[in-house]
Amino acid sequence: MHTPLDQKSLSKNQPSKDRPSKARTSSLATRLFVSATIWVVVILLITGIVLSSVYREATERAFDRRLNLYLRTLIAEVATPDEPPDHQFQSLGEPLFDLPLSGWYWQITREDTEKHDVRASRSLWDKKLPKLEDQGIALTAAGVRQGYVEGPEGQDLRMVERPVDLGSDGKFLVTVAGDATEIFEETRAFDYYLFGTFAALTIGLLLTTIFQVRFGLAPLKRISDAIADIRSGRAERLEGSFPVEIAPLARETNALIDANREIVERSRTHVGNLAHAIKTPLSVIVNEASARRPDPLATKILEQADVMRSQVAHHLERARIAARQTIVGTVTDVAPVIEALGRTMEKIHRGIDIEITAAPQAKFRGERQDLEEMTGNLVDNACKWARSRVVVEVAVVKAAGAAQEASLHIVVDDDGPGLSPEERAKVSRRGQRLDESKPGSGLGLSIVIDLAALYGGNLTLGDAPIGGLRAELVLPAA
């Protein structure tokens, strides 16, 4: 019983080629998106830090203006000592100065006496405020010191102090402090709002970037898909309108395809002319030598002329196929070719039963006559050596990875005597024949190997499940 094709074993032989279009386009889109994302995040982060710092400084300046207002009021009170003690410092208008340990304090210290008499707000209770001068803070241009200190209850205070010299009335250090929690909470609230706003802005910018990247790369994807259609034979040129930036690329690609076709046509013409130019002198030599056949020299000339004919046919065929292989977009349905070939071989080789199993969707990325020549050589060789049966199977093997292309596998089995590994290596060489009684030039398998290699495929020989030789041809599928 014949064994069906093993898909796993066939996949090992398929050619490894990069699929150039979608993967690289996706990679470019990913790089653009990542780059745009990094820039957006960095710019928004720097902007957020700057805005937060600016807002904090603005809040501190507003707080300092409030403290300086109290400071000037206290200095005015100190400068008018004629007020009764129970009426002094009543004009501040801030109840928190009377609430114990409220975080809002004022303090007036006389500096020109040894006792350093201190008058303070009721909120200080029996505590004292530290001096900014002791912390190394210098006077500003306005003659005040300002900074953060730790309060009586461990709270953070924003404090301003100013030395006042009243001449004979004494030297004083007037200090006003307020709870810095207001500054911190105000700044923190602003940071929260800023973070929320920038987060929404980041998401919006990223969505816009995604849209721009996809929209901007869409023409490149269209060109990529169009080139894939040309390679698979579904189209001949890049069609449609493209943006101004992409249009030159499409135009040059079409020009390249046209130039490629012209080169191929010229190559075919030159190959045909060369074939005719060489065959005619060879025919004359053969005819002249045939007329003098008993002569040993004539026999030798005929022998070498036959070798020359084989060599010329072989290399001209390779040149013809190499030229034709450069044509982009040729696709051939495999099943009709194999079935027609089977009917022809059954008429030539009487008594040989040829079984054909071909996937209807199988397509060869190449020209029909090349496929006919390769499969014809394999089937003809199998029929010559088969006892009664030849089996031909055609399958398309999908690649395991995304970077791999599908491959076409044509397997020809016969129930003949088969070949040893040494004999397989020998018959694969050009002009080698194991049995001179069989018709042929010995070029069949070598031509198949050369043609398959030009298409990026290969031919392997092995043992057939039905007892003879198995020839497995791997070609690019469309």
For the cut 80, the answer to whether the pLDDT of residue 474 exceeds it is: yes
User: In the structure, what pLDDT confidence band is assigned to residue 442 with cuts at 50, 70 and 90?
Assistant: very low
Say what the pLDDT of residue 299 is.
84
pLDDT attached to residue 32 = 74
The arithmetic mean of pLDDT across residues 422-448, rounded, is 60
- Bridge partners (DSSP) listed for residue 389: 353
The predicted structure's pLDDT at residue 467:
87
What is the pLDDT averaged over residues 171-178? 93
pLDDT of res. 322: 59
Encode pLDDT of 84-118 as tens digits. 555 555 557 788 888 998 999 999 998 888 777 88
Pairing label, strands 353-358, 389-397: parallel
Non-local (6+) Cβ contacts of 17 within 8 A are 403, 404, 405, 456
* Statement: residue 146 has pLDDT above 70: yes
The model's pTM is 0.47
Phi-psi region of 143 (alpha: psi -120 to 50; beta: other; left: phi over 0): left
Residue 227 has pLDDT above 60, yes or no: yes
CATH class of 330-476: alpha beta
Q: Taking the domains of the chain in order of start, what are their residue ranges?
A: 247-325, 330-476
* Paired strand residues for 108: 119, 174
CA distances for 462 relative to 3, 308, 422, angstroms: 14, 32, 11
